[in-house]
Structure 1
Amino acid sequence: MNKIDFAVGIGGENGQGIASTGNILALIFARRGLHLNAYNAYQSIIRGGHTFLTIRAGDGPVRNMGDKIDVFIPLNQDTMDRHLHLLKSGACAIYDKEKVTPGKAADGVQLCAMPMKELTKGNKLAVNTAALGATLELLGIESEPLETVISRQFKKKGDAVIAENLTIARAGYDYAAQNFTAFSWKAPRGAKPLGIITGNQATAMGGAAAGVKFYAAYPMSPSTGVLMWMAAHARELGIMVRQVEDEIGVMNMVIGAAHTGCRAMCATSGGGFALMTEAVGMAGMIETPIVCVDVQRAGPATGVPTKTEQGDLWQVLGAGQGDYPRIVVAPTNQLDLFHTIPELFNLCDKYQCPGLVLSDLLISEGTTSIDPDDLDFGVKIDRGELILPNGNGLPAVALAKEGNGANPGSGYNDKAYLRFKNTPSGISPRAVPGVLGHIFTAATDEHDEDGTLISDEFTNPQKRRMMVEKRARKMQGALKDIAPPKLVGPEQAEVTLVGWGSTAGVIREAVEKLAGEEGIVANQLAIKWIVPLHAAEISAILGRSKNVILIENNQSGQFARYLRSETGFDTHGHIRKYDGEPFMPHHIVEAVKEQLAGKTRLSIPVHEVNA
């Protein structure tokens, strides 16, 4: 557990600059060397409504937004009314005394009323700046970092705007120093300055590290940040980026680009992926490697575009009719997204199949601190059995090996090339268009080894069975190339908490709290690789566990059903949340306690922050 751990909550209407204010704080904390995690709960409107941004920072890893707010900045009365009652002793609320009236606060909560009109010289847009100055003073952070970030933030607006905001920031800082009581502790300094990154940025950067040269998308929250990063860096990185008319066109373009030999990628959310599924099946049939990121949001249909959920698992498992190999992965955090994308591309190239990433709003739009040294853009790239022209149309001999169905001979007879050769591994030689002697048909129909369509043949059960089994065999090899999940924590525990994807961080903290505050020894199994699944290893771990509770952000227990179907194991309890907001550590701790007490097998926590 961290020695010092604190959180700042900023709330108000959309359009009040909450995201910008949060970004300034995140930059200051990260450059101080603090670890951080930021989550913005916002509505799907441009102005109005209610938005609440939480930035949690500490001197060690911060894996989620936590349970508490230490500095509360309500920019309007609605935010004050919603959140003040949640503050605990030792916290403080910084607000405009002329616009906001506090209600009943818990004992020990410091109410920091500020004359914002006076401090900002009547500039309504600068209230946030004055509040930031006061926040840093209470946290024991010098004003200079804020001044540095403000100078950069408003650089394009000119010297006059910069000077005005610097004056207001200092006024807020000085007012807090003279009128309020700072925390008994000071925000520490880390060993080295850190950067900040969102999950969407990490996804796009992972694609760049993997060698992606074609990216297509139709803007859909919460995946649009991937498109924005790709578009901003397209020329610099030599990536062709296309905003397409719809998601059907997106997937077909990605498949077409991958068919020519380049690495191609797209990102969408559940509704967009629903339109892509037929084309995903096409990628499976013609054995073309593509990567698609599904940034899950609350569904079905339009659902709640700005809220998180883990509701797309079964949609991804069933994408496209029929049986075909696919690799499905659910990264656990932002940095994991960056590292997983290149690994997935290597697997998809090797096994010539679609790769599907299950992200979600929590980690895609959430911000975390990051050590720039952890972003390795020199990752190993493995293109598998790929046959490329060597410049004059001839095959690259290094990849065109005798016996694998390629045609490296001097005659370049197209009939000798077997694009879908039935090999023991199921992997066939993949030639791109333009390689002499390697012409084949790529179609959505079932086909023979050389690509000849068999859908019109009168009798073809043997060929059909051969091709289905050939494709399926690839998953046996893929499973060996994927690391199995490992149990984190003591082997002997009262309870094992199982999760998949983005729940890993909050479960990790819940395990620590159970042991440190409740005296309950717990461990954790975080499952990342969904298909193929290490069923035997998971069964062995869970079979040794005393109590197993599965935690996921959906209503029906989608992963619980999948786990049961693959392993036969039925967990002892479930914790599910589907109100659009992520788990907080205390949700899990309280649910585990009630289940171990025998009160229930299914806990559904209530998210009180936005009540």
Structure 2
Amino acid sequence: MSCIGLEDDSISFLVGGEAGQGITRSGSLLGKALMRAGFSVFGMNDYPSIIRGGHNFYLLRVSDREVHSPADTADILLALNKETVLLHQGELSEGAGVVYDRQVEFEEGELKRDDISLFPVPFSEIVKEIGGTPIMMNTVALGAAAALVDFDQELIKQVISDAFSGRERIIEQNARAIEMGFDYVKVNYGDGFPCRLGLLEERPEKIMLTGNEAVALGAIQAGCRFYSAYPMTPASGVLHYLAGKDIETEMVVVQAESEIAAMNMVIGASYAGLRSMTATSGGGFCLMTEAFGLAGATETPVVVMLGQRPGPSTGMATYTAQADLLFAVHTSQGEFPRVVVAPGDVEGCFYRTMEAFNLAEKYQVPVIILTDKFIIESQKSAEPFDAGRVAIERGDLLIADEWTSEERYKRFKITESGVSPRILLGTRGATVLANGNEHEEYGYTTIDPEKVVAMAEKRFRKIEPLKEEISGMRPVRVFGDPNPSITLVGWGSTKGPALEALKMLGSRGVKARFVQVVYVEPFPTEEVGELLEGDGEFILLETNMTAQLGKLIKLNTGFAFEHVALKYDGRPFNPGEICARVEEVM
């Protein structure tokens, strides 16, 4: 990779246009082609919270090193309409290239930049010449982009052929569109752009996927056999992926009539012995909270992915936030143990999902996988996942035809660990009860004070062994300089922008590290407390308004952040924003 004049060691594309012009698809296809050439990629889509229409765009960052988030600016703008150029010209790097339809005309004063290069290409004319449909303008743009950076157009043709396998006419038309867009740029502009993206010598196998897809794959590998959900952005991708794999995986996948129904179905399936899961966003999880409490009371292992978006109420359905942390930690009526884990990238989505199923069954508690729109709808390249890293552990579960013990089976037996032996419905010789009312060991309702206290304390005895096990799973992870003057602290999707910020800060001579809190409930008090000791400045990073992780840290460790960087406009951090906050603190 060679980019003359560009400050970063990556190059960023921005594809923009109207909804329906194939914005996300074209950006994703370009990313996959670049990945096949050996590059690492990160793609983020942006679309409004409306049913049809509006402006959409897709940011794609590519480098010969691993990339973790979009860049602050775009180097090449692929504009499928005039509006895209006018909206995004302020987000372009110095020397950026703008590829747009030759039919577009700009009035005097509309273009505010004189430090960018314009590359008009006859998108519409080429599509008409090949007998294609208007949406194929995006394919012409991909061919033009490939020529601009001297990238092998054959790789783009390959990924399009894979995407439209069996539809030969569409494949042929798109291949022709790529060729004509590529040739037009080469003939008319030559080497007019200073970046070259050739094949890398080392091209290790990689996959490109969203966080939703990684969670779904993690569930499959963990042995999930029942999934029920009601569609809700941004979590619907899990339902879509699993529905397409139901026969292959022998998983029962149900689109329920409501979030209430979905959660209760998951509890029922788990009660019958299946590893079970649902996914939703904030409003849907509100509807699930009573049933979530039922899972806590009946000690039924369930896994819930909560994909956050800005609220309150409907909020902004297609944007991102981290404002449901305290809701997840404290949700539902009464007190009972639960686990809340917040992965920070697609790799984390896969492995933490596998861990979630183990913890749910071993400790018979509900587990929340706390994500957000940025992490679960963005695409990232990664090494193929290793399912063998997390062995399936089902805990104290007896799978047998008959209960042979002389002792009558107690579903909620008081034990030293707080975990009761669990057997499946239909086991001969055993009565298996579930009761949302407070109950005694057999599961029958009770209001006896001693039995009520005994059952509450039994449930909470799980906390210490839970903490001990999670402590061995690296609940807090540290990246960057071992002797920092600046420590960034965050959780979830702030990881990607923070890691990119560390690289930028390092190039400026700033010693910095990032502390990622992965498991937030039970809270890793000792691990976090130790990392917040010593000299240097500490800056809290969150995409919410009230510093919710900061509140949890203060509650559990007593540490109060003097410096915070909070963003709550529905967009993720840019690495440059984090660096700017560091400079203010220093």
In structure 1, what is the equivalent of residue 338 of structure 2?
A: 326
CA–CA separation in structure 2 for the residues paired with 1:440 and 1:178: 76
Q: How does 1:332-411 map to 2 (within 5 A)?
A: 332-372=344-384, 374-376=385-387, 379-389=390-400, 393-395=401-403, 408-409=404-405, 411=406
Preserved contact between residue 140 and residue 183 of structure 1 (Cα < 8 Å): no
SS at match of 1:364: helix
What's the CA shift string for 1:377-424, capped at 9, x where partnerless? 6841111011122xxx214xxxxxxxxxxxx43x5x5xx222222222
Say if 1:276 and 1:104 are closer, same or farther in 2 by CA, change over 3 A: same
CA–CA separation in structure 2 for the residues paired with 1:85 and 1:42: 19
What's the CA shift string for 1:165-219, capped at 9, x where partnerless? 2222111101111222344342142422422111111111100000001000001
CA–CA separation in structure 1 for the residues paired with 2:369 and 2:161: 38
**AA aligned opposite 2:150:** G
Preserved contact between residue 209 and residue 379 of structure 1 (Cα < 8 Å): no
1:549 aligned to 539, 547, 551, which one?
539
Say if 1:434 and 1:71 are closer, same or farther in 2 by CA, change over 3 A: same
Moved more, 587-596 or 97-106: 97-106
Moved more, 74-83 or 223-232: 74-83
CA–CA separation in structure 2 for the residues paired with 1:275 and 1:8: 39
Say if 1:378 and 1:503 are closer, same or farther in 2 by CA, change over 3 A: closer
Say if 1:27 and 1:496 are closer, same or farther in 2 by CA, change over 3 A: same
Q: Tell me the TM-score normalized by structure 1.
A: 0.90
Q: How does 1:214-225 map to 2 (within 5 A)?
A: 214-225=226-237
Give RMSD over aligned pairs.
1.9
1:295 aligned to 307, 322, 340, which one?
307
**AA aligned opposite 1:245:** E
SS at match of 1:486: strand
Deviation at 1:323, TM superposition (A): 1.0
In structure 2, what is the equivalent of residue 560 of structure 1?
A: 550
In structure 1, what is the equivalent of residue 414 of structure 2?
A: 422
Say if 1:347 and 1:113 are closer, same or farther in 2 by CA, change over 3 A: same
What number of residue pairs does the alignment pair up? 570
In structure 2, what is the equivalent of residue 599 of structure 1?
A: none
Q: How does 1:176-575 map to 2 (within 5 A)?
A: 176-180=185-189, 181-188=191-198, 189=200, 190-372=202-384, 374-376=385-387, 379-389=390-400, 393-395=401-403, 408-409=404-405, 411=406, 416-455=408-447, 460-482=448-470, 483-517=474-508, 519-575=509-565
Say if 1:486 and 1:345 are closer, same or farther in 2 by CA, change over 3 A: same
Whether 1:111 aligns to 2:126 is no
Say if 1:418 and 1:100 are closer, same or farther in 2 by CA, change over 3 A: farther
Deviation at 1:125, TM superposition (A): 2.7
Q: How does 1:583-598 map to 2 (within 5 A)?
A: 583-596=573-586
Deviation at 1:557, TM superposition (A): 1.3
Deviation at 1:572, TM superposition (A): 1.6
Preserved contact between residue 67 and residue 500 of structure 2 (Cα < 8 Å): no
CA–CA separation in structure 2 for the residues paired with 1:592 and 1:135: 35
Whether 1:166 aligns to 2:158 is no
CA–CA separation in structure 2 for the residues paired with 1:243 and 1:125: 31
Whether 1:85 aligns to 2:90 is yes
CA–CA separation in structure 2 for the residues paired with 1:476 and 1:22: 47
SS at match of 2:462: helix
Moved more, 161-170 or 557-566: 161-170
Say if 1:540 and 1:125 are closer, same or farther in 2 by CA, change over 3 A: closer
What's the CA shift string for 1:480-508, capped at 9, x where partnerless? 11134133223332211000111111111
Say if 1:377 and 1:521 are closer, same or farther in 2 by CA, change over 3 A: closer
Preserved contact between residue 137 and residue 182 of structure 1 (Cα < 8 Å): no
Say if 1:153 and 1:486 are closer, same or farther in 2 by CA, change over 3 A: closer
Say if 1:198 and 1:515 are closer, same or farther in 2 by CA, change over 3 A: same
CA–CA separation in structure 1 for the residues paired with 2:415 and 2:172: 70
Deviation at 1:545, TM superposition (A): 4.2
SS at match of 1:70: strand
Preserved contact between residue 251 and residue 266 of structure 1 (Cα < 8 Å): yes
CA–CA separation in structure 2 for the residues paired with 1:587 and 1:217: 36
SS at match of 1:331: coil
Preserved contact between residue 485 and residue 536 of structure 2 (Cα < 8 Å): yes
Preserved contact between residue 89 and residue 106 of structure 1 (Cα < 8 Å): no
Say if 1:425 and 1:153 are closer, same or farther in 2 by CA, change over 3 A: closer
Q: Tell me the TM-score normalized by structure 2.
A: 0.94
CA–CA separation in structure 1 for the residues paired with 2:240 and 2:388: 20
Moved more, 119-128 or 264-273: 119-128
**AA aligned opposite 1:476:** E
SS at match of 2:44: strand
SS at match of 1:212: coil
Identify unmatched segments of 5+ residues in structure 1.
Answer: 396-407, 597-611
Preserved contact between residue 89 and residue 107 of structure 1 (Cα < 8 Å): no
CA–CA separation in structure 1 for the residues paired with 2:262 and 2:494: 29
Preserved contact between residue 86 and residue 111 of structure 2 (Cα < 8 Å): no
Moved more, 565-574 or 164-173: 164-173
Whether 1:55 aligns to 2:60 is yes
CA–CA separation in structure 2 for the residues paired with 1:233 and 1:466: 44
Say if 1:108 and 1:536 are closer, same or farther in 2 by CA, change over 3 A: same
In structure 1, what is the equivalent of residue 151 of structure 2?
A: 141
What's the CA shift string for 1:220-270, capped at 9, x where partnerless? 111111001111100111101111111111111100110111100000000
Deviation at 1:100, TM superposition (A): 4.7
Deviation at 1:311, TM superposition (A): 1.1
CA–CA separation in structure 1 for the residues paired with 2:67 and 2:213: 19
Moved more, 285-294 or 1-10: 1-10
Preserved contact between residue 427 and residue 474 of structure 1 (Cα < 8 Å): yes
What's the CA shift string for 1:127-185, capped at 9, x where partnerless? 212111110111221221122233334445442x3333222211110111122234434
Identify unmatched segments of 5+ residues in structure 2.
Answer: 3-7
Preserved contact between residue 442 and residue 451 of structure 1 (Cα < 8 Å): yes
Moved more, 439-448 or 570-579: 439-448
Whether 1:125 aligns to 2:139 is no
Preserved contact between residue 14 and residue 45 of structure 1 (Cα < 8 Å): no
Deviation at 1:107, TM superposition (A): 4.4
Preserved contact between residue 332 and residue 503 of structure 1 (Cα < 8 Å): yes
CA–CA separation in structure 1 for the residues paired with 2:205 and 2:342: 29
Deviation at 1:51, TM superposition (A): 0.9
CA–CA separation in structure 1 for the residues paired with 2:105 and 2:68: 32
